[in-house]
Structure 1
Amino acid sequence: MDATEIKSLIEEQGRAFEAFKAEHNAALADVKKGTEDVVRTDKVERINTAVSDLQAALDEQAAKLAALQTSGAQTEADKPVNAAYNAAFDKFFREGDERELRAAIKSAPKADLNIGTPAEGGYFAPVEWDRTVVDALKIVSAMRGIATVQQVSSNAFTKVYNDRDTASGWVGETAARPKTGHPELASETFTLGEIYANPAATQRILDDSLINIETWLSNEVQTEFAYQEGVAFVSGDGTNKPRGLLDYQSAGDHPFGAIPTVKSGAAAALKLEGLVDLVYDLPSERTPNARFTMNRKTQGAIRKIKDGNGNFIWQPGLQAGQPANVLGFPVTELAAMQDVAAGNIPIIFGDFSGYLVLDRLGVRVLRDPFTNKPFVQFYTTKRVGGGVVDPTVFRYHKIEA
């Protein structure tokens, strides 16, 4: 999508939002008169959905742009030096011939971290294939665009915390200096789980077609990986998967305690006052990088809320790469977030660099021509972890029962 098309999409969303505001105001006026029009109410919901669809399309383009800016176009200097491994891996993919691949592994530079041969016959994809999958995940996995992403070389990552309990005091020039309190250290370990996809192709297609293995593999696995990650980053319990944002509701869940909760102030509904309380409960030093996360249903509900001057608190982005905002803060859509309902947490507000995504370097592929003849299955795995580094930079918005 070029700049002209993106501009057209922004303009179309602006027109749709203006139509939504007009119809919603008319519907509210009907309610006040006691003459509610079902047809108009249905029209409001249809326009609301259209605005959401247009915003989702704009968010997708913004994510693609951000991914390109982060990874950059591949130059000759970026291309992997071990061309022999790439060619041998392609032959293994198509024909199942491991001989050249094993020879390439033996002669590979020791610094090439993506090359390995597990006993069960799986091989790590070439470096540029791994980049392709990771770059695709940046586009379709929204959390990767707002969280801190770090590559690790082991199965766990441990962070040490200082409880900030150092004491001090005022004294005179010759007064005694009694011993003061000292900080205690605690640690939090983030473990990695394994995420997988199992795409398949017939041997005839692999033999006869000019299939681009790299493109095919990344397209097959990215959607499944992104879906599984998206759920885990929000609600995962940390067992063989990342620990999600919603799993920090108890004091003992982290050395710094639970993520604080701000209630909505309304039974089974969102309320302007509750959202304002949510924003102002976060420390001011964290608000410059703060944002809202919610699913599209919640975004649709917020789109109907006005401030005291009759202005809608949800506003669309006005240029390419700029997300929609609520009360002046950007909004990121996370499909796995809870809906607006009594007792649920449909919104998390805060600085999402406080969530850590861990990637174990390397996408591994196991070629399986036996399980499902005449298909050849490519059991593809990647190890991923995640968790909250600092719960004090987030706020839950909980709907009252």
Structure 2
Amino acid sequence: MNNIQAMREKISNLANLANKLLADKGDQTWTKEEQATFDGYTNEIEALKNQVKAAEKMRALEADDFFNAAGNTPAKKDGDMTIDALTAVALYMRFGNNVSAEQALAIRNAMSTTTPGEGGYTVPAQVASMVIDRLKAYGGMRDVAQIITTENGQNWSYPTSDGTTEVGAIVAQNGPAGGGDITFGAANLNVFNYTSLKIALPLELIQDSAIDVIDFVVKRLATRIARIQNTHFTTGAGTTLPDGVIPRAGVGKTGTTGQTLTVTYDDLVDLKHSVNRAYRQNAKFMLNDLSIAVVSKIKDTTGRPIWVPSVTEGSPDTLLGFPVLTNDDVAVMAANAKSIAFGDFSSYIIRDVANSTMIKRFDDSAFALNNQVGFCGWQRSGGNLVDVNAVKVYVNSAT
């Protein structure tokens, strides 16, 4: 923790130095030495950010101890035994069906018995929120998309409409108003049944009271689901997958010949202005981390860097004055790659089905012979860019 905090403080100090250099130079032409100094700051910032990211991923895999006591200790042993939802989940994860009749009844009362094909429990709201938090922590699409929750998973046709070219008119006194009908379209917003796939864990680990079994298992299962969902919400081809934001967005700018692995300042400006200014009020850039390493070194016509590092923890860096979102499911720069997206990503809607987060414990021989316990998670979600005018992409040149 202290090491991570120290790295964050160093990032903040370097960002302050970089921004001071930007402020001091203003619109003056930059010298090679000043550009090299700024690039040195930004390179070290990016290296430190990658170290922080790696350290946080390792820390996320460690179990916390907030659930030690409740994990394997029944709350009461009277005829009307009641336990809270988190205790019920922990008992189920630790011991499966190997509990007393009173405990089994209490678990069933605390957890929903809505089951997927192989059986299992729908987790209570506290655990479901842990899953959603985990889904947000990976990828990036859930950070910027509009999230809606529906009571069921029936297929949806979401109404769409583009009003960016609509205008009013002047009419004479007592004159009638002309027609200005709105044209509506539709975008599919169907959901898909996501699974973490089964994982096998040592029985001793699951029954160890020093391990927060809920935190440990939920993080593993939810992280897997989060990664595949972010991939599909970014690049999904539709029909059997969600419609990803990149395939649905229009092309705002194609790089000139020779820009297979790069993008120019002029290309970024053209991409920005390919999006109607009505959508630019909440616009962001979205890139792969490797592409950010390329773009962050681009200078404007005076030599001034167009990438500005953030000086506030949790705030994004900016490019041409717009926030930059890292999404490693966006293609890296290559021939014909759609490597940069820009626009209002809140026009991408992610649809989650309420009470669809499920967990199943497996004790069959495939696991028992190895003294293991199996777990699998499910969650139903879908997504689509319902306004294709809100986001445009940059395509690297073919040659």
TM-score range relative to shorter protein: 0.7 to 0.9
Cα contact 2:18–2:309 (8 A) shared by 1: no
Identical pairs, percent: 23
Cα contact 2:194–2:381 (8 A) shared by 1: yes
For 1:285, which of 241, 260, 278 is the aligned residue?
278
Alignment partner, residue 389 of structure 1: 386
Other structure's SS at 2:342 match: strand
Alignment TM-score, normalising by the size of structure 1:
0.74
Cα-to-partner distance string for 1:240-268 (whole Å, 9 max, x where unaligned): 4322112226xxxxxxxxx2432233532
State the Cα distance separating 1:107 from its structure 2 match: 4.9
Alignment partner, residue 159 of structure 1: 158
Alignment partner, residue 52 of structure 1: 46
Cα-to-partner distance string for 1:154-178 (whole Å, 9 max, x where unaligned): 2233312346699998776798x79
CA distance in 1, matches of 2:53, 2:345: 17
Cα contact 2:93–2:361 (8 A) shared by 1: yes
For 1:9, which of 8, 11, 16 is the aligned residue?
11
5+ unaligned residues in a row in structure 1: which ranges? Answer: 30-43, 63-81, 250-258
5+ unaligned residues in a row in structure 2: which ranges? Answer: 22-30, 57-81
My pick for the range that moved more, 137-146 or 158-167, is 158-167
CA distance in 2, matches of 1:178, 1:170: 9
Cα-to-partner distance string for 1:265-300 (whole Å, 9 max, x where unaligned): 353231111111111222222212111000111111
Alignment partner, residue 25 of structure 2: none
Cα-to-partner distance string for 1:6-60 (whole Å, 9 max, x where unaligned): 33331145568999xxxx946999xxxxxxxxxxxxxx8x986543233456789
CA distance in 1, matches of 2:171, 2:337: 51
Alignment partner, residue 195 of structure 1: 194
My pick for the range that moved more, 163-172 or 329-338, is 163-172
CA distance in 2, matches of 1:139, 1:353: 17
Q: Residues 264 and 11 of structure 1: is their aligned pair in 2 closer, same or farther, counting only changes over 3 Å?
A: same
Alignment partner, residue 147 of structure 1: 145
Matches within 5 A, 1:2-401: 5=6, 6-12=8-14, 25=32, 50-56=44-50, 83-97=83-97, 103-104=105-106, 107=109, 116-118=114-116, 120-155=118-153, 156-162=155-161, 182-197=181-196, 198-248=198-248, 259-267=250-258, 268=260, 269-361=262-354, 362-370=356-364, 371-373=366-368, 374=370, 375-401=372-398
Cα contact 2:221–2:377 (8 A) shared by 1: yes
State the Cα distance separating 1:179 from its structure 2 match: 8.8
State the Cα distance separating 1:93 from its structure 2 match: 1.9
State the Cα distance separating 1:351 from its structure 2 match: 0.7
Q: C-alpha root-mean-square deviation of aligned residues, in Å?
A: 3.9
Q: Residues 213 and 168 of structure 1: is their aligned pair in 2 closer, same or farther, counting only changes over 3 Å?
A: same
Q: Count matched residues.
A: 352
My pick for the range that moved more, 123-132 or 136-145, is 136-145
Other structure's SS at 2:190 match: strand
CA distance in 1, matches of 2:313, 2:55: 8
State the Cα distance separating 1:302 from its structure 2 match: 1.1
Cα contact 1:194–1:381 (8 A) shared by 2: yes
